[in-house]
Structure 1
Amino acid sequence: MHFSRIPLSRAAAALSLVLGAVFLAGCGQGNGGAAAAAGAPPAPAVTVITVQTESVPMVVELPGRTTPSLIAELRPQVTGILTQRAFNEGSEVKAGQVLYRIDAAPYQAAYDSARASLARAEANADAARLRAERHAGLVAIEAVSKQANDDAQAALKQARAEVAAAKAAVDKAKIDLDYTQLKAPIAGRIGRSAVTPGALVTANQAQALATVQRLDPIYVDLTQSSADMLRLRREVESGRVQRGAGGAVEVRLLLEDGSEYAAAGRLALSEVTVDEGTGSVTLRAEFPNPTGDLLPGMYVRARLPQGVRAEAVLVPHAAVVRDARGSALVMVVDEQNVVQARPVEVVQAFGDKWVLGGGLQEGERVITEGLQRVRPGVTVQPDQAGVAPAAAAQQ
């Protein structure tokens, strides 16, 4: 028999390759076993707070617009040519200050004529009085007929009536003459003028010549939904919210730039009917405005206290999340450190926290940091907010 011989060097190389493959396979199996032995990743660390209850003032923030406390539109009461505008547009005016003058010549003439007619009527009345007195004495001795006396007495009454009519005409002419000077009916700030000297104005015209507005104090008209008012009433009836004692309700104002108005106002009135179009109720607050910072028509927000919630639950803003339907949720860690999603009712903001109306109990733990790493049913490693972790405390 003939056998082929393989060189020793080539056989050694092949054996080395086989052994290497076996070694690598064994290593791979060993790594897989170690990974399996390692198990699941460690529980995520989160920061929690323990829920506490406290008394919190119930403050609602309502939108509103500023409006003058008094407003008066100037319209002429007589017809004539405007001769003077006696004010600066945008300035403060006093009650009774002359603002416009209308040509008074025709009204002065009418007044003088009325006074002359009154003097004539008074002279006729004096003559009628003397005649009536004489006839009254003569009729007693039958020197004149009774009919003549009756006529004299009737003539006296007629003369006195003419005097009264003449006096009324004088008063009317004096009123018209006074109306040639348009005076400010209230003190306040006057706007721009709609007419200039030389214009013809007519009595009781539709267009106002100018508008005077009283801005100190100034009103802020607020709107609150009737649903919110009903909810507050139910909470008061249930005892969860206590209303304060009687007296003025203080109101704080936030301006358009986010700053707070320096002076506090007071609630002046609450509308007794609900607007059918918006389903809201109008509240009116009154604010001092000595420097004129508040102007009519400004959009503002007012903070209005509505009572005190005795045992309110507060959680940081970061602890509240929203689901796909917009409902508010918090993540609660139970006694086994398992995460639970808990629906809650957000009542209002209080500083950097939310006031909750229900859903949490005192002593429960709520996640405030690490929410992005957890989901309901996951076990976590909770760290109390404000307390150093154990590892950091040992160093």
Structure 2
Amino acid sequence: MPDFRSQALPLLRQNPPRLLRTLTLAALLAVTLAACSRSGEAPKAAAQAEVGYVVVKAQRQAVTTELPGRTSAYLAADIRPQVGGIIQKRLFKEGAKVKAGQPLYQIDPASYQAAYDSAKASLLKAEATLASSRLKAQRYAELNKIDAVSKQDNDDAQSTLRQNQADVEVQKAAVQTAAINLQYTKILSPISGRIEKSSVTPGALVTASQTTALTTVQQIDPIYVDVTQSTVDLLRLRRELASGQIRKSGDNAAQVKILLEDGSAYDRTGRLEFTGLSVDTGTGMITLRAVVPNPDGVLLPGAYVRAVLEEGVDEHALLVPQKAVSRDQTGAATALVLGANGKVEQRLVTVARAVGNNWWISKGLKEGDKLIVDGLQKVRTGDTPRAIDITDSLKKDLASEAAAAAADPSLGGDADNADTDAGNNAASPASPATTTDNATGAKSK
């Protein structure tokens, strides 16, 4: 065996630092190799991934649409004078309720009273002239029978009688016109409602049919809500109804719930009264009009609101948590499900719309599928993970969400049926709430 010490000593004397480093590295390498040879064990297999899944269940889902709109008065009347003159009095309190026929302004009636009196006097004069001409015509008619007067004189007397009869009718019309003008000096409210501020004060000169209104009276109970819907949505709804995918919801189809400008729900439900017959060429939208009770005057004309319209019901809607759906590199929506053999499968799905924190799936899933919602990052297609059914653990949260949605129309529910809806939806991993139609930006449910 060679004597390494005898060989290393001359080298150590020649280059001590480099030799020490070399020997140290060699020793570390030997220790590492020895440890590996002593263990002799293969690396352990990676732990089995764990995922949570929910069982997809079909459920009854109302098909509703949330559309922007504006309120407008049920009846509105701009008050303008029908005769000219000086305003003597204002006979109402601004902002108050007025009734149809209630006096609002008094115009100085002096000149109109004089015109009325003059017309009556002219009528009396015409009636007196008529009486005289009637007697003359009767006498001439009798004399004409015995040829005591000429035929021409008799004809003239009969003609004068008819002219005087016409004059009386003219004067009667003049009296009626003067009476109407005199009545117009007192301006009355044509409708019942709330009256706005006055644009004139006593002493102001007004003219007949002037362009500027003196004030406006608006009936706001009930009140109109005008909303717009895209023709794309309208066509989609008609196709779904025709195919049987959704069904009409009977009387409820005409119901409209209102969300106020601050997002709160209005406590009264309206009804859909009118659907436009033409499409706006500039926007491609069609106008819908709803009538909403407004006894307390909460809704004011011109206010921005959102109207929730119930269009139908899908008896077999599939709602899944949004976190269970992802997008691939092409933008297609995908979901992971557990196959019959427990292996992970990827499905291409079609998302119809958003429903609160859920997606409404129209294609790609079916009732009974085991949809992975937790641990998506831990598995890939073909893996066989340890799967845990978490459907039941979600029931409590979903029931609370459904109850909140039912109590708030902005989440797609009905306060009257909150408890019932909560119980029905708790069995499914999704609950109804506000939805958004991606095609138009209008919110739906």
Say whether the fold is shared (TM-score over 0.5). Answer: yes
TM-score, with structure 1 as normaliser: 0.85
- In the alignment, which of 15, 37, 41 is matched to residue 43 of structure 2? 37
Is contact 2:230–2:286 with CA below 8 Å preserved after alignment? yes
Q: Percent identity?
A: 48
Provide closer, same or farther for how the CA distance between residues 265 and 382 of structure 1 changes in structure 2, counting only shifts above 3 A: same
Q: Shift of the alpha carbon at 1:355? A: 2.7
Tell me the SS of whatever aligns to 2:61. strand
In structure 2, runs of 5+ residues without a counterpart are 10-19, 394-445
Q: Shift of the alpha carbon at 1:348? A: 5.2
1:270 aligns with 2:287: no
Q: Shift of the alpha carbon at 1:379? A: 5.6
Provide closer, same or farther for how the CA distance between residues 363 and 242 of structure 1 changes in structure 2, counting only shifts above 3 A: same
1:292 aligns with 2:297: yes
Question: 1:26 matched to which residue of 2?
Answer: 33
Question: 2:138 matched to which residue of 1?
Answer: 133
1:210 aligns with 2:190: no
Looking at secondary structure, tell me which structure has more helix per residue: 2
1:219 aligns with 2:224: yes
Q: Shift of the alpha carbon at 1:330? A: 3.5
Question: 1:303 matched to which residue of 2?
Answer: 308
Is contact 1:339–1:380 with CA below 8 Å preserved after alignment? no
Q: Shift of the alpha carbon at 1:291? A: 0.6
Describe the superposition over 1:42-86 as per-residue Cα deviations: whole angstroms up to 9, x where unpaired. 454332211122332222222211111111101111111112211
Question: 1:337 matched to which residue of 2?
Answer: 343
Distance 1:139 1:33 in 2: 156
1:182-331 → structure 2 map (5 Å cutoff):
182-245=187-250, 249-321=254-326, 328-331=333-336
Distance 2:288 2:330 in 1: 32
More relative contact order, 1 or 2 (CA 8 Å, 6+ apart): 1
Question: 2:100 matched to which residue of 1?
Answer: 95
Is contact 1:93–1:189 with CA below 8 Å preserved after alignment? yes
Is contact 2:134–2:161 with CA below 8 Å preserved after alignment? yes
Provide closer, same or farther for how the CA distance between residues 291 and 309 of structure 1 changes in structure 2, counting only shifts above 3 A: same
Higher mean alpha-carbon deviation, 250-259 vs 322-331, is at: 322-331
1:80 aligns with 2:85: yes
Is contact 2:253–2:310 with CA below 8 Å preserved after alignment? no
- In the alignment, which of 128, 142, 150 is matched to residue 147 of structure 2? 142
Provide closer, same or farther for how the CA distance between residues 197 and 232 of structure 1 changes in structure 2, counting only shifts above 3 A: same
Tell me which amino acid in the other structure corresponds to 2:172: K
Provide closer, same or farther for how the CA distance between residues 125 and 355 of structure 1 changes in structure 2, counting only shifts above 3 A: same
Is contact 1:187–1:214 with CA below 8 Å preserved after alignment? yes
In structure 1, runs of 5+ residues without a counterpart are 8-13, 389-395
Higher mean alpha-carbon deviation, 195-204 vs 212-221, is at: 195-204
Provide closer, same or farther for how the CA distance between residues 257 and 337 of structure 1 changes in structure 2, counting only shifts above 3 A: farther
Q: Shift of the alpha carbon at 1:368? A: 2.7
Question: 1:391 matched to which residue of 2?
Answer: none
Tell me the SS of whatever aligns to 1:138. helix
